[in-house]
């Protein structure tokens, strides 16, 4: 799960997807990163921690990190939160195998809206709650697709 700073959107996507996979007993390794490294080593944004906590998901063990080229080999699927992040992740890919793993998160989920998870960075409870709901729904759609394609 990749966003810009790895403190707002992708930590939520990581936490939500991990929780769903755990409940379904599906053995997947899920992680998140940012295209930027400014927040490396830091906890997720407090608003993300709070909104996730309200839904029973604890993000406090997460620490921000910058995506590395090796991630494109380590992971089978790379989900980007918006077009700008998508372009930046594609730009570090070194071969077709890596490029073909990179999907816009909402595109992969089959969302009928614009495939952008809006950045709630400047927002408060309302924006973070909306981000949570959007990511939560997309995770359900992605799990349904993964089950169909891989199980």
Q: Which of 8, 9, 82, 139 is catalytic?
A: 9
Is 3 a catalytic site residue? yes
4 binds ligand 4NP (CB under 6 A): yes
Print the SS3 string covering 80-101.
Answer: ECCHHHHHHHHHHCCCHHHHCC
User: Which of 1, 6, 89, 102 forms a contact with ligand 4NP (CB under 6 A)?
Assistant: 6
3 binds ligand 4NP (CB under 6 A): yes
94 binds ligand 4NP (CB under 6 A): no
Beta-strand relationship, 33-34 and 102-104: unpaired
Taken as a whole, the chain contains a residue count of 151
Q: Is the dihedral of CA 127, 49, 86, 77 positive or negative?
A: negative
User: Which of 15, 72, 119, 138 forms a contact with ligand 4NP (CB under 6 A)?
Assistant: 119
Print the SS3 string covering 50-75.
Answer: HHHHHCCCCCCCCCCCECCCCHHHHC
139 binds ligand 4NP (CB under 6 A): no
Q: Please identify every residue annotated as catalytic.
A: 3, 9, 119
- Please report, as ranges, the residues that interact with ligand 4NP according to CB under 6 A: 3-9, 34, 38, 119, 121
């Amino acid at each position: 799960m990749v966003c810009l700073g790895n403190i707002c959107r992708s930590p939520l996507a990581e936490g939500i997807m991990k929780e769903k996979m755990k409940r379904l007993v599906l053995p997947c390794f899920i992680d998140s990163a940012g295209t930027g490294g400014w927040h490396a080593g830091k906890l997720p944004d407090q608003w993300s921690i709070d909104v996730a906590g309200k839904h029973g998901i604890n993000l406090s063990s997460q620490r921000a990190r910058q995506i590395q080229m090796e991630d494109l080999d380590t992971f089978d699927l790379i989900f980007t939160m918006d077009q700008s992040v998508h372009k930046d992740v594609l730009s570090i890919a070194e071969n077709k195998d890596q490029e073909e793993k990179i999907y816009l998160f909402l595109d992969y989920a089959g969302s009928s809206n614009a495939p952008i998870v809006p950045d709630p960075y400047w927002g408060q409870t309302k924006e973070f709650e909306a981000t949570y709901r959007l990511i939560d729904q997309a995770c359900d759609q992605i799990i349904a697709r993964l089950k169909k394609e891989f199980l």
